Amino acid sequence: MCATPGWASVCGPAVFQVEFELSRGGTSRGRTAVIVGAQWGDEGKGKIVDVLTQTFSVVARYAGGHNAGHTVIINGKKFILQLVPGGILRPECTSVVGNGVVIDPLAFLKEVASLRVAGVKVDGNLFVSNRAQVILPYHRMMELGSENAPGRVKIGTTSRGIGPSYEDKMGRRGLRVADLLDTHLLRTHIENACREKNMIAHALFNSDPLDADKMFREYSDAARELVPFVRDTALLLNRALAEGKSIVFEGAQGTMLDIDHGTYPFVTSSSSTSGGAATGTGVPPTSIDTVIGITKAYCTRVGSGPFPSELLGAEGEDLRKRGNEFGAVTGRPRRTGWLDLPLLRYAGMINGISWLVVTKLDVLDHLTEIPVCVGYKVDGKETDEVPAQACGYDKIECIYRNMPGWVSPTQAIRTVEGLPKAAREYMAFIEKETGAQVGMISTGPDREQTILVDEFMHRLGLESPAARD
């Protein structure tokens, strides 16, 4: 912050002017909203970001890497985005991969190439932070070794090298995108890191060594291709805000996979909650206006770890089939269960969620009764506290309440009033129990299969799909 006059000479008068105006409650800054997963990821954030980009100018990813997989369907055409933010599907929108992301340059360039083939504009509207961490092949080698090592807790990761890359970041031995573009530094870094990682991986996991020369050639080629995308994205985003442009911060994974607040150690290695939007992009927390939590109408999780409302039998299998619950990135079948309100309240608290978006409502269309976990019992006592230890979840007994089903199709419905009474009651119950307002409901994978609540639409300047028909 250029809070004192002394800083004005460092930051320049124009920036000082904007800061000054904002600190007095000026409204010249653009609007911002964080989209965050309120469960264990896969809540359908990609589609919601896509809907919001109607009126937002910039979409910025703030955490994770190509472990994420956002499926967006537009006019029947399916796009799976892993690193590239959802804004890319609207050419007028700027897409930013923030400093909090770990980027595998080869995966990024592959995704860019496939978007080009599909006719999607990626030049001049897609930028990568020069401070983002780089994933290199030895990160995957370390992860595979560790996941399969006897005696280690198996997290069930996506095997993309995400965790070891964040380990190197925090250990202050990582390589950032700016360093990737520095050929001399890149060679030295790869040689030193390979020597070290090869020794460790051989000693601990008996892994075959990686070839540093080959790696250098591959990644210096990739670096050349990456150059046009690289920017100081914190500067880009703050300038955009100062010019009155609006930004959506696109979360990856979900609250319960957050490194601090999730079901540790069965989590990912980044801050997927809304706090990560500030550290992962360089936009100050004081510039975040709204946090929108995304939840399925039920619950899923992929990988190992606690899941209190999980359905293990035929009912779980039925939800999996009806919801097509298979990982977008790994194809792994997702574990399924009923909506867990204590977890949703926890997600609301950690993220500061004021609006909820409920996705996949249509998957429950056939049910006459819908069980919802409304509370937890531990040792016979009711509690709303979420355990700090993964083993603490073993003691949880879910308290269920059966909500009436609507037993009619919702896929073609475009307005809240058009929803069956029981579906509206299901939404009202979620609102009452979480204290957040439901602003949007998704009843199918397509952009058009979306119901927008008037107040949410007006606050965010959105147009309803029904109005556009």
Closest CA to 39 of 378, 291, 272, 370: 272
What residues between 13 and 42 interact with ligand IMP by CB under 6 A? 41-42
**Marked catalytic residue, from 70, 139, 189, 261:** 70
- Is residue 68 a contact residue for ligand IMP (CB under 6 A)? yes
- Is residue 180 a contact residue for ligand IMP (CB under 6 A)? no
CB of 139 to ligand IMP, least distance (A): 10
Task: Please identify which residue in 32, 157, 290, 354 interacts with ligand IMP, judged by CB under 6 A.
Answer: 157
Question: Computed from CA positions of residues 169, 293, 464, 455, in that sequence, does the dihedral angle turn out positive or negative?
Answer: negative
Return the number of the residue (2 or 357) whose C-beta is nearest ligand IMP. Answer: 357
How far is it, in rounded angstroms, from Cα 148 to Cα 136?
Answer: 19
Preceding peptide of 265 cis, ω within 30°: yes
CB atoms within 10 A of CB 191: 14
Q: What is the DSSP letter of 87?
A: G
Answer whether 304's CB lies under 8 Å from 312's CB. Answer: no
How far is it, in rounded angstroms, from Cα 293 to Cα 435?
Answer: 12
- Three-state DSSP state, 121: coil
285 half-sphere exposure, CB direction, 13 A CA radius: 7
CB of 469 to ligand IMP, least distance (A): 32
Q: Which amino acid is at 396?
A: I
Part of the chain binding ligand IMP (CB under 6 A), chosen from 85-93, 119-127, 157-165, 225-233? 157-165
The string of DSSP letters for 254-315 reads: -GGG-TTTSSTTSS-SS--STHHHHHTTT--GGG--EEEEEEESSEEE-SSS--TTB--SHH
CB of 432 to ligand IMP, least distance (A): 28
β-strands 230-231, 290-296: how paired? unpaired
CB of 401 to ligand IMP, least distance (A): 27
Task: Please identify which residue in 32, 39, 53, 67 interacts with ligand IMP, judged by CB under 6 A.
Answer: 67
Return the number of the residue (254 or 371) whose C-beta is nearest ligand IMP. Answer: 254
Task: Please identify which residue in 39, 99, 133, 158 interacts with ligand IMP, judged by CB under 6 A.
Answer: 158
- Is residue 162 a contact residue for ligand IMP (CB under 6 A)? yes
CB of 268 to ligand IMP, least distance (A): 3
- Is residue 139 a contact residue for ligand IMP (CB under 6 A)? no
42 is an active site residue:
yes
469 is an active site residue:
no
CB of 329 to ligand IMP, least distance (A): 7
Task: Please identify which residue in 57, 238, 253, 434 interacts with ligand IMP, judged by CB under 6 A.
Answer: 253
Return the number of the residue (410 or 442) whose C-beta is nearest ligand IMP. Answer: 442
Answer whether 48's CB lies under 8 Å from 254's CB. Answer: no
* Residues forming the site for ligand IMP (CB under 6 A): 41-42, 67-69, 155-158, 160, 162-163, 252-253, 257, 266, 268-269, 302-303
> Which residues are identified as catalytic?
42, 70
